[in-house]
Chains A and B, each alone.
Chain A
Amino acid sequence: MSGANASLERRLHLKSGRVARYEAMFEIRSFEDRVQAMFFEGLVHGTTHTCQGQEAVSVGIAAAARPTDTVTCTYRGHGHALALGMPPLTVLAEIMGRRIGSVGGLGGSMHLCDTSVGLLPTFAIVGAGIPVAAGAALTAQVKGTDGAAIAIFGDGAANIGAFHEGLNLAAIWKLPAVFICENNQYGEYSAIHITTPVENIADRAASYGIPGEVVDGQDVETVEAAVAGALARARAGEGPTLLEMKTYRYAGHSRADTAPYRPEGEFDRWYERDPINTYRRRLIEDGELTEEEAEQIEARVAARIAAAETEASAADRATVEDMFTNIHAR
């Protein structure tokens, strides 16, 4: 599988049921663990921002949205890219600067893109994707399609002007947009309470006269239901919604950050509600998955990621010729 068709197929598979959602979350965790290790081992040049702990948000959003909806998301985007459908090989190859990567190896970890599943180039500037999603929603509105746009951003972005301006514009024009704040408790190295005076970012929706909802970001099905509701509202012409996913970032901000600022016990408290472990238990309790089947899935995912690493490592790096391409559209 390669290219756009592979992404769409993976996306459709995600929509096939609860076990597929589990597999998708497990894939993100395994992928991110490996990526983090590769950077620590010096196998990849530069920096990366991983999303372990936040998998339910990525998978819940991708399960609720259509591949024809436009998505903008942040530089902590590997999980979203995988959940939206991009194959691990395409993402890993991009992170490793290889020509078979999603941007031909010219973007790197922070810049993934796959328009076949609606993902615009991911944003390395905090908040920048928020008004851009409003604009993609404007396209749907002006053209009269039933498309929608989703902006995924962190809690840190709720304090930058683009958040206010993007939500305000979407609200006055009643754009079919869903604004999803992934509140992982830290904006880069700073805890949210240091930078943000409100307990819930969702409360800020009141400023724009739109619904705001706090959502348990550790539960993939709760996330999916909230996003599906907001998308239905958007498609019905009722305007945008602000969803705040309460979640937790297991890793530091970036490769260089070991998160020594984290208070004692905080990680353990969140890990008790780990989105993958809890969902695995639930599916087994509900009789949809056996322990053996779960292990088979996990082995399959591990093999897929190992194969992606082998293939990406052997692939050609982006060339000097490549870096002169796509500066201008013809």
Chain B
Amino acid sequence: MRKMRMNQAIAAALADEMRDNPDVVMFGEDIAVAEGPFKTSAGLLNEFGPSRVRDTPISEMGFLGAAVGAASTGLRPVIEIMFIEFIGVALDQLVTEAAKFHYLSRGTVTVLLTVRGSIGAGLGFGCQHSQTLESWMYSTPGVKLAVASGAHNAYGLLRSAIRDDNPVVFLEPRALYAKREPVQRGEEGIVPLGEAATVREGSDVTVVALGAMVPAALQAAEAAPWSAEVIDLQTLVPYDKEALAESVSKTGRLVTVEENPLTGGWGGEITAFVTGDLFSDLKAPPVRITCPDIHVPYGKELEQRYMPGPDYISGQIGALLDTGTRPPHWWESREVMA
């Protein structure tokens, strides 16, 4: 297996799907001639030409809407939202149109759409270009949602997203674009939607993470004296209840690690599922490790403080195992100031 950066793995997944299926087209801002600001479409214009690989105006509502129309009439468009925040001006097309077309057509229209977007903090882009917005989309029936945690599953999940007959949102943590890891290309490298990956086995605690929090949780687990089972959800909608139940019934403890504010974050949903269905298996209260309910700060030190890092994750899990109670969030004694 060749090592690739995550952005290269994404470009490879796009190229492989485009080779396999002439209906796959791609468009977005600066993705054709410039090959994407994060070089996630390197070489595609050259190989597939300007009919299938197109630059758009800075016009998310227009091109996401056009993608919905194309996806409903037989093409398989993959569009790029450069920073996920830009989907705010186009959300209608995803949540109110694409998500509901299959239902509102009695199943006669399938929306063969993939929406890619870069997410997350860590690169000093400020609070309007650093959110993950996972929780904006996970309560919309009709839309699937997957998040990459590295080059390997970026390749495999993206290929599944493109092949899926539903609108799929595929999120790419920007902080991981340059990270290299071995990537299995071809059919064997495809990662199905809806399946979590147990990226580390362990017995004391189940740590559930998504996106950039997966490598952070792994790093925490590898250095710790306790034994953590780390589960990369990979797909948030629909999420893999079976894998979670199997792990929690073994470890008896649940920790979620989320790169989003506490309130409304997906860890709340996972926690509700586990406490509701596996209450008697739990030896301790579930713990959520999240960002505070504030905006992503700018300076490097503040940004690192804002995001759950390996040391903080490790400290919180250690405290849970020591005390059997939920450790406070690092910011819990502070009040959010008016």
Contact = CB atoms under 8 A, between A and B. Distances in A.
B57 A142 contact: no
Contacts of B66: 131-132, 134-135, 138, 166, 169
B25 A142 contact: yes
Interface in B293-313: none
Contacts, number: 149
B82 to A, nearest CB: 16
A130 interface: yes
A134 B69 contact: yes
Given A132-B66, A134-B65, A168 B57 contact: yes
Contacts of B51: 141-142
Contacts of B144: 328
Nearest to B165: A329
A131 B56 contact: no
Interface residues of B, number: 46
Interface string B37-69: 000000000000001101011010111111111
B195 to A, nearest CB: 16
A139 interface: yes
Contact of A139 (B56, B64, B69, B92): B69
Interface in A298-324: none
A136 B72 contact: yes
Interface stretch (A37-45, A106-114, A195-203, A285-293): A106-114
Contacts of A134: 62, 65-66, 69
A325 interface: yes
B67 to A, nearest CB: 6
A330 interface: yes
B102 A131 contact: no
Nearest to A145: B74
Interface in B64-96: 64-75, 77, 89, 92-93, 96
A178 interface: no
A121 B109 contact: yes
Nearest to A94: B106
Contact of B102 (A123, A128, A165, A329): A329
A103 B103 CA distance: 8
Contacts of B109: 113, 115, 120-121
A70 B71 CA distance: 13
A135 B77 CA distance: 10
B1 interface: no
Contact of A169 (B57, B93, B102, B106): B57
A28 B178 CA distance: 60
Contacts of A169: 56-57, 59, 62-63, 66
A216 B311 CA distance: 71
B102 A132 contact: no
B108 interface: yes
Contacts of A173: 54
A330 B165 contact: yes
B236 to A, nearest CB: 15
A115 B96 contact: no
Contact of B104 (A121, A130, A161): A121
A138 B67 CA distance: 9
Contacts of A166: 62, 65-66
A104 interface: yes
A125 interface: yes
Nearest to A166: B62
A159 B102 CA distance: 28
A106 B97 contact: no
A84 B104 CA distance: 18
Interface string B128-167: 0000000000000110100000000000000000000110
B52 A135 contact: no
Contacts of A327: 102-103, 141-142
B52 to A, nearest CB: 7
A168 B103 contact: no
Nearest to A173: B54
B329 to A, nearest CB: 35
Given A128-B97, A131-B61, A169-B56, A329 B107 contact: yes
Residue among B54, B75, B89 with the highest chain A CB neighbour number at 10 A: B75
B59 A115 contact: no
A330 B144 CA distance: 12
Contact of B65 (A106, A132, A172, A329): A132
A143 interface: yes
A93 interface: no
A104 B65 contact: no
A175 B68 CA distance: 15
Contact of B69 (A125, A133, A165): A133
Given A120-B109, A166-B65, A326-B107, A139 B57 contact: no
B106 to A, nearest CB: 5
Residue among B51, B74, B100, B106 with the highest chain A CB neighbour number at 10 A: B106
A162 interface: yes
A149 interface: yes
B34 to A, nearest CB: 17
A72 interface: yes
Contacts of A184: none
A121 B69 contact: no
Interface of B: 23, 25, 51-52, 54, 56-57, 59, 61-75, 77, 89, 92-93, 96-97, 100-111, 141-142, 144, 165-166
Given A128-B92, A132-B65, 5 more contacts: A113-B105, A113-B109, A121-B100, A131-B93, A138-B66
For the complex of A and B, the 10 pairs showing the least CB-CB separation, nearest first, are: A135-B69, A131-B65, A165-B62, A135-B66, A121-B104, A132-B69, A135-B70, A329-B165, A139-B73, A136-B69
7 contacts: A106-B106, A107-B104, A113-B109, A138-B75, A162-B61, A327-B102, A329-B110
